[in-house]
């Protein structure tokens, strides 16, 4: 029996300060710009001010990209364009600075932190600071077995909570949340379908490296079979994560919940982060007020999840690579919104 009670987060999470948001809106009205002239930048600045509890809004000075890494057993079915168990190669590319995410993060001055929750490799192959939170080697094949035991699911959620505390304690003022996974879009689609009550074909996309029609049909079948296993445990989010999630997704769920407790704003990347966010919303309905949707990845499950959470993507550039890249592209927008809100003079 788990000792972790996710429902406790419902009482721990408060909404961003509505009074501060109204003050930010009132200040914007005194800046001499026509209403609507800055479009969503006004909305962004007011959201950030409420999250910070500050008018004028403070600049985003210590952002961090946090990437949760894991392999998923369902990739053995050929539902991904990448070979099963190969996520560690993607991790090494990020760590070496060669991956697109690493290149962009350098340009934007956003440090990147990679956390191994369930990579299918020996932990000794990775730096200690990456492998220190590992829960297991690879998550289970969700069409026929649980992704995790309930104890592993609890450990993964607690790892995410601990990581959120570490970031908040270190002064991180904006988190870009993404994943590095192989097979991860399949459990993500399953979670979204289960929580939104939709069929497999409605939420099944073609992944970051697009798959062909045969692979898409295999993926649909895997989501369909996993849904049969998900529906009996829909009332218990920890059991749901154990049944059809994975260690990376469970940790992201814990991270999102605790980040909301600690009042740390988060920019969500693609479908995997969005699926974790949807689980977290089911736990604590106020939590999404602390999140932004960085971009539209084109995955139908992401669109479904964001719609359910009433989050509108900031960007739609067709970026499918994952690994936090699309959400990183939104960071300059958030910074621009903060600068305009704080530095355009007001009239007294």
Measured distance CA(294)–CA(56) in Å, rounded: 23
Catalytic choice (150, 154, 323, 343): 323
Ramachandran assignment for 144, one of left (phi > 0), alpha (psi -120 to 50 degrees), beta (any other): alpha
Measured distance CA(81)–CA(186) in Å, rounded: 12
Measured CA distances, 336 to 142, 177, 212, 339 (Å) = 42, 20, 39, 5
323 is catalytic: yes
User: Do residues 326 and 297 touch, judged by C-beta distance below 8 A?
Assistant: yes
The dihedrals phi and psi of 64, each to the nearest 5 degrees, come to -150, 135
Q: How far does Cα 243 stand from its chain's mean position?
A: 19
Measured distance CA(130)–CA(92) in Å, rounded: 10
Measured distance CA(245)–CA(203) in Å, rounded: 15
Measured CA distances, 22 to 47, 54, 55, 70, 320 (Å) = 10, 11, 10, 41, 36
Q: Provide the annotated active-site residues.
A: 323
């Amino acid at each position: 029996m788990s000792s972790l009670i996710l429902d406790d987060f419902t009482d721990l999470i408060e909404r961003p300060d509505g009074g501060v948001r109204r003050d930010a809106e009132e200040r914007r009205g005194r800046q001499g710009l026509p209403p609507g002239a800055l479009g969503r930048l006004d909305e962004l600045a007011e959201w950030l001010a409420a999250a910070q509890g500050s008018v004028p809004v403070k600049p985003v000075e210590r952002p961090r990209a946090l990437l949760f890494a894991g392999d998923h057993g369902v990739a053995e079915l050929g539902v991904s364009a990448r070979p099963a168990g190969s996520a560690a190669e993607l991790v090494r590319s990020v760590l070496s600075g060669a991956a697109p995410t690493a290149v962009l993060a350098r340009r934007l001055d956003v440090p990147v932190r990679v956390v191994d929750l369930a990579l299918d490799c020996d932990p000794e192959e990775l730096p200690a600071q990456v492998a220190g939170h590992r829960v297991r080697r690879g998550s289970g094949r969700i069409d026929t077995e649980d992704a995790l035991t309930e104890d592993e699911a609890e450990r993964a959620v607690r790892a995410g909570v601990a990581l959120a505390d570490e970031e908040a304690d270190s002064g991180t003022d904006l988190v870009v949340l993404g994943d590095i996974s192989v097979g991860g879009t399949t459990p993500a689609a399953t979670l979204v379908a289960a929580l939104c009550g939709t069929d497999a074909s409605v939420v099944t996309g073609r992944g970051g490296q697009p798959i062909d029609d045969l692979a898409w049909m295999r993926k649909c079948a895997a989501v369909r079979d996993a849904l049969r296993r998900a529906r009996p445990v829909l009332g218990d989010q920890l059991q749901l994560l154990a049944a059809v999630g994975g260690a990376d997704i469970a940790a992201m769920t814990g991270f999102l919940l605790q980040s909301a407790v600690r009042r740390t704003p988060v920019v969500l990347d693609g479908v995997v982060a969005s699926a974790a966010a949807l689980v977290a919303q089911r736990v604590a309905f106020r939590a999404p007020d602390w999140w932004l949707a960085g971009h539209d990845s084109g995955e139908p499950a992401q669109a479904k999840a964001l719609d359910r959470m009433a989050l509108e993507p900031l960007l739609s550039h067709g970026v499918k690579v994952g690994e936090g890249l699309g959400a990183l592209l939104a960071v300059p927008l958030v910074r621009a919104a903060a600068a305009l809100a704080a530095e355009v003079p007001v009239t007294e």
